[in-house]
Structure 1
Amino acid sequence: MPELKILAISGSLRAASYNSALVRAAQKHAPGDLAIEIYEGLRDIPPYDTDQDTQDAPAAVLDLRRRISEADGLFIATPEYNYGIPGVLKNALDWASRPALDSSLTGKPVAIAGAAPTNFGTVRAQLALRQMFLWTDSKVVGKPELQIFRAHERFDENGNLTDETTIELLQQLLGALGTKIRETRAIADAAL
């Protein structure tokens, strides 16, 4: 039985998204000690509005915050739009980062990946996420990095990840996330 619960978020709303296919591949190829739950509520999150960020925040926001809090770690697969992360993903993470002193992202172990049909992958988008997670003090996995370039050559027409090297790198990244979760727990336990 898996001991660690991972919430996987695709930063894309597109039905045939390579990044949504990547979170499904993470669920399929995860090491046996990880249970991957796919978050599918990104479309339901309203634009961030400080006036709505109260005890009675929108239900979709409260659900996202709860699910992040209950997860041991996050796996985020992001496309790259205009050298950065998609607005819907940034918006969701802005909501999750509030309230600043009690954010569901504070100290949360996170693994980042991305897939794109281009030759450059999602390098800049992943860098933007890493920078954002500095503010929330999330514990981002540094290595291995997973930027799936020319994604149309690594996924089949049904959205299945078929490239063995990419599957192996994905498993290594997920394994590193499991290690980061255990290390973060050990540090927290030692501080008690």
Structure 2
Amino acid sequence: MSTPVLVGISGSLRREATNRKLMREAVRLFGPSEFIEGDLNLPLYDGDLETGEGIPDSVQVLADQIARAHAIVIATPEYNKGPSGVLKNALDWVSRTKGNPWADKPVAVMSAAAGRAGGERSQMILRSFLVPFQPRLITGPEVHLASSSAEFHDDGRLKNERYEKSLQALMEKLRAQIG
């Protein structure tokens, strides 16, 4: 296979979000790939907008990136015991595009959160959100970064060797799924 295309999605819009850092660490540990970071700065899903104007260009770009990917990494924060609204909004919009870009794509889910559970609940909920799209969800090892703001060096690398080893194992399983 030529260089695999890896799409990364951070459920946080902040430039320095710990989920964006976690996603980038996953990409580094995944190894050689063509990396595309999906942009979730999309309009709120609105059926009237879709009916009147069609699928927004920014949504179609994201759907096309997912369709082109050999594998996908999603890093989700935990807001009020669930995934972020921007992540759910992106899933809702992409579900309205033609075809199913998620179908049979290997997807690894991870989380970074301020709380001590590290986003475990948001991962569980996100996995249920993905079920209708029928991707191949990688079930583990689970990566939940607790107190995530203290888990990265200034250069964005993980501080904790245990987290890095789990993330490495998850990325190895993801890479193995693309054959």
Q: Aligned residue for 1:83?
A: 81
> What do you get for the CA RMSD once the two structures are aligned?
2.0
| 1:38 and 2:37 matched | yes
| In 1, Cα distance between equivalents of 2:178 and 2:124 | 21
- Matching residue's letter, 1:105: W
- Where in structure 1 are there 5+ consecutive unaligned residues? 183-192
| TM-score, with length taken from structure 1 | 0.84
Task: Give, in angstroms, the shift of residue 51 of structure 1.
Answer: 3.3
- Matching residue's letter, 1:8: G
- Matching residue's letter, 1:79: P
Secondary structure of the 2:124 match is: helix
| In 2, Cα distance between equivalents of 1:56 and 1:129 | 26
| In 2, Cα distance between equivalents of 1:171 and 1:2 | 21
Q: Are residues 74 and 162 of structure 1, via their aligned partners in 2, closer, same or farther at CA, if it must alter by over 3 Å?
A: same
Task: Give, in angstroms, the shift of residue 58 of structure 1.
Answer: 0.9
**The 10-residue stretch of structure 1 (71-80 or 1-10) with the greater mean CA deviation from structure 2:** 1-10
| TM-score, with length taken from structure 2 | 0.89
- Where in structure 2 are there 5+ consecutive unaligned residues? none
Q: Aligned residue for 1:145?
A: 142
| In 2, Cα distance between equivalents of 1:75 and 1:136 | 15
| In 1, Cα distance between equivalents of 2:117 and 2:154 | 21
Q: Aligned residue for 2:122?
A: 125
Matches of residues 27-106 of structure 1 in structure 2 within 5 Å?
Answer: 27-32=27-32, 34-39=33-38, 41-43=39-41, 45-53=42-50, 56-99=54-97, 102-106=99-103
Percent identity, aligned pairs only, is 35
Q: Is the 8 A contact 2:30 2:175 kept in 1?
A: no
Task: Give, in angstroms, the shift of residue 31 of structure 1.
Answer: 3.0
Task: Give, in angstroms, the shift of residue 95 of structure 1.
Answer: 1.2
- Matching residue's letter, 1:5: V
Q: Aligned residue for 1:13?
A: 13
